[in-house]
Amino acid sequence: MSKLAKAVPGAKLLNPKDHTLVMIDFQSQMAFATHSIDANNLRTNASLVAQAAAGFGVSTILTTVAEKSFSGPMFDEVTAPFPGKKMLDRTSMNTWEDVAVIEEINRIGKDRIVLAGLWTSVCIVGPALSAIDQGFEVYVITDACGDVSLEAHNRAVERMVQAGAQPITSLQYLLELQRDWARGETYDMTTGIAKKVGGAYGIGINYAKTMFNAHEG
């Protein structure tokens, strides 16, 4: 008997209410040694993720490591969409071993965890593998992560995928949260974010709207 298709989204797709986003160690000292991605691209992608999460009301945790004593403040691009939000500062390289972070994870109570940050092979692998081990479903925004080398980043992503993590990208994250251009309440926000920090796709949106008053819906 053939399968019957239904016009409903797949269970693996993210929506704004089904996950917690954890943005980890987007800090100066960590960025200085990041070479797997250009610093400008990293900042742009991190900004896109933060703006998307804030705009869609995603439960978000911002965490730093040794902010005052060593690593410096979190990128303005990440903190600006969340004015007044408390940073959870840690001593542990593995975010999942920090009691304050885990208390917030449990308070929010979502079974899906989305990760982005520096460095991929340490500060992202740690919580990814730990969360998977405890039964959470983990997604990693790979182009909003970076490492000391491309080799380190790629091996880290492979390791997490082999353990069950699902890799996605920053623009994919934004568009997956929107997913239907008929959702008018978030349409202008989504296209606005894409125009500002969505790279060539954003340029295309701006062109189409300016030249032809085009509209995806």
Domain of 169 in residue numbering reads as 19-179
- Encode pLDDT of 128-166 as tens digits: 999 999 999 999 999 999 999 999 999 999 999 999 999
Comparing 215 with 18, the larger pLDDT belongs to 18
- Stretch (H or E) spanning 116: strand 112-118
- Stretch (H or E) spanning 143: strand 137-146
- Encode pLDDT of 13-69 as tens digits: 999 999 999 999 999 999 999 999 999 999 999 999 999 999 999 999 999 997 777
CATH code, domain with 75: 3.40.50.850
| pLDDT for residue 167 | 98
Q: What percent of the chain has pLDDT over 90?
A: 87
| Co-location of 174 and 69 in the same domain | yes
| Co-location of 58 and 155 in the same domain | yes
Place of tokens 């983990």: 138
| Co-location of 106 and 200 in the same domain | no
Question: Using CA atoms, how far apart are residues 171 and 199, in angstroms rounded to an integer?
Answer: 9
| pLDDT for residue 209 | 77
- Mean pLDDT, the chain, integer: 95
Q: Is the pLDDT of residue 217 over 80?
A: no
| Co-location of 168 and 111 in the same domain | yes
